[in-house]
Amino acid sequence: MLFSMQQDGSLAGRNRLRLVSFGFIMFFLAISTQLGYLTLWQQRPEKPVIEYSERVPRPDIVDRNGVVLATDVSVFSLYADPRKILDVDEAVELLTATVPGFDAKSLRQKLSQPNRAFVWLKREVSPAEREAIHNLGIPGVGFRAETKRVYPMGRLASHVLGYVDLDSKGIAGIEKFLDDQGALYTASLGEDNTRAMPAMLSIDIRVQHALADELAKGIAKFRAKAGGAIVLNVKSGEVLGLVSLPDFNPNQENKNFTFDQANRMTSGVFELGSVIKAVSFAMALDYGTANLESRFDARAPLVIGRAAIHDFQPTRRILTLPEVFTNSSNIGTARMVLAVDQERHQAFLRRVGLMDRLVTELPENAKPILPKRWGRLVQATVAFGHGFAVQPLQGAQVVAGLLNGGNMLPVTFLKRDVADAQAMGKRVVKPETSKTLRYLFRLNGLEGSARSANAKAPGYRIGGKTGTAEKVVNGRYDKSKNLTVFTGAFPMEDPQYVVMVLMDEPQATPETYGFSTSGWNAVPTAGYIIARIAPLLGIQPELTEDERKEIAKQQAKAAKEGKT
């Protein structure tokens, strides 16, 4: 009996053991089946949409010598996951007490969105703010590493560089050009796949600085409303410097720039006045309708219909072609151009590009304003730049093409070789025509309205053409408001660089004897610019005996006055 009871107890124990083991096995099988189902058969959930924009690393922008003009730096931005915020009111209270400038109402709205996984709270927080917020220990609040675009040179070359928005998207200038060309993606496939090769500009930051400094001095001296200046390589079409004042600082957070801060040299069009006479002379010489021996009657105004064309400083005599140029005679230039029929005149303007929009890497480029109807009077006034408005950079490009042997080169803000540029050139005038124009430009620099440029930069053999145009105000020309322009080149025996200076509404001073025309303001400003940039560009002065005597005289005067 006792044996039977022990046997039954042993059997019951084994049964319980089997039952427990079976339970463990079934539990393990259930878990394994579920895991297999989730990993092998069930479709994976889609990756959640991240509600922020990743900043694509931008290429550095450097000048022609490798000086950094724009680059990215690492920053942190503050974000939140509203789903993980435990107490919205407490989070708002802590954040507003820690970070100046936080708006409690806006912050509460952002944090009170339980269906959102990501909201920006503040872009580009400072290191001090980051540390203070981190120490708060608020669940659901964190930082994301980003990049910030900075411009080490500040305002210098701002119109060329442009700027980007908060998401590092190019908005203007070369920055927008890089985006439009897809350079952020194609150029960024470097060794680490994160950093782009630098974009090398044609700009020489040393030239740019001298240009901006001297232009600012000129604007202040002549109390001009605004101004601009350009340095263009005649042989390659490269822009070595471009300034438009007032300018802006691309580093400032608020990018609401005013209309006055726009790039006048490419996004604006102006009547360049007598600078366009260079084109008229080139046309007449190239077509063979005039030569250096030609003479033009400037004894009285030229009457066309009810209009009369006058000279600013009448000579009231018959002028040779060089005298028409150096005296900037409207009458003589108009008579010379009227010898060419209107169709050929328009064809020449089209040949040199003045009938079309100048397109460069800068997206800010304005279309020329051309006469709607051509007649004898329009042809005569267009001859001296009246009623015909173009980009200032376009005017500089045309002058460079007329002086470099007659080969018009595409203008660029990117560094390129002279050989590559020459291959892209287009013949616009004969070499002989170009040679004659160089003679006329130099003559004007020695005897005409451009004399003061050589006085300010002796030895650099400057030649050029001045232009003074009345501004259009409320649909009418205002005699009291002028735009003055000087387009010059140096050294004139073999021009290497074109320099253009523009001043908007310069005022007369006692030093200018009451005059406010180009020869009194834009020309001397250009002279000061050339005196500073020529040594940087490797151009050596060759002083004449008269220039040596004048320099010695000025040095003696300065020494007597105790100046260095």
pLDDT at 184 exceeding the cut of 60 = no
For the segment 89-101, the average pLDDT, to the nearest whole number, is 87
Closest C-alpha to 489, from 230, 120, 176: 230
User: How far apart are alpha carbons 228 and 248 in whole angstroms?
Assistant: 14
Distance between CA 452 and CA 519 in Å, rounded? 7
Say how far apart CA 100 and CA 102 lie, in whole Å.
Answer: 6
At residue 48, the pLDDT reads: 37
Q: For residue 23, what pLDDT is reported? A: 64
Task: Tell me if 277 sits within 8 A of 465, measured CB to CB.
Answer: yes
- Active-site hit among 158, 202, 274, 518: 274
More confident site: 196 or 241: 241
Residue 342, helix vs strand vs coil: helix
Confidence category of residue 361, pLDDT binned at 50, 70, 90: very high
3-state secondary structure of 84: helix
Q: Given pLDDT bands bounded at 50, 70 and 90, which one contains residue 11?
A: low
Residues 389-444 have pLDDT tens digits of: 999 999 999 999 999 999 999 999 999 999 999 999 999 999 999 999 999 999 99
Cα dihedral 151, 153, 159, 165 in deg (nearest 10): 10
Question: Which one-letter DSSP state was computed for residue 39?
Answer: I
Paired strand residues for 501: 229, 486
DSSP letter string, 131-178: HHHHHH--TTEEEEEEEEEE-TTTTTTHHHH-EE-TT--EEEHHHHHH
CA distance 325 to 108: 72
Residue 19's pLDDT band (boundaries 50, 70, 90)?
Answer: low
pLDDT at 191: 45
| Confidence grade of residue 58 (pLDDT, cut at 50, 70, 90) | confident
Question: Contact, 483 vs 270, CB < 8 A?
Answer: yes
Q: Catalytic residue at 274?
A: yes
Fill in the amino acid letter for 333. T
Residue 54, exposed/middle/buried by CB under 10 A (0-12, 13-18, 19+)?
Answer: exposed
pLDDT band at 535 (very low <50, low <70, confident <90, very high): very high
CA distances from 23 to 10, 15, 338 (A): 20, 12, 111
**Position 186 confidence tier, pLDDT thresholds 50, 70, 90:** very low
Of 73, 122, 77, 128, nearest in space to 101 by CA: 122
Average pLDDT rounded to a whole number, residues 169-173: 94
Could you tell me which of 353, 356, 141, 155 has the C-alpha nearest to residue 244? 155
Give the Cα separation of 139 and 127 in Å (integer): 20
Q: Is the pTM of this model over 0.75?
A: yes
**Integer Cα distance of 448 and 124 in angstroms:** 57
Q: Which of these, 156, 218, 160, 210, lies nearest to 505 by C-alpha position? A: 218
How many CA atoms does the CB half-sphere of 235 hold within 13 Å? 8
pLDDT of 487: 97
- 289 or 197, greater pLDDT: 289
Contact (Cβ atoms closer than 8 angstroms) between residue 268 and residue 226? no
Q: Give the pLDDT of residue 546.
A: 79
404/386 Cα distance (integer angstroms) = 26
* The pLDDT of residue 99: 85
pLDDT at 287 over 80: yes
E strand or H helix that includes residue 119? strand 119-125
Peptide bond before 491: cis, by omega within 30 degrees of 0? Answer: yes
Higher-pLDDT residue of 395, 9: 395
Flag whether pLDDT at 548 surpasses 80: yes
| CA 105/CA 155 separation, integer angstroms | 36
> Does the pLDDT at position 8 exceed 60?
no
Cα gap 489→518, rounded to integer Å:
16
Residue 472 exposed, middle or buried by CB count within 10 Å (0-12, 13-18, 19+): middle
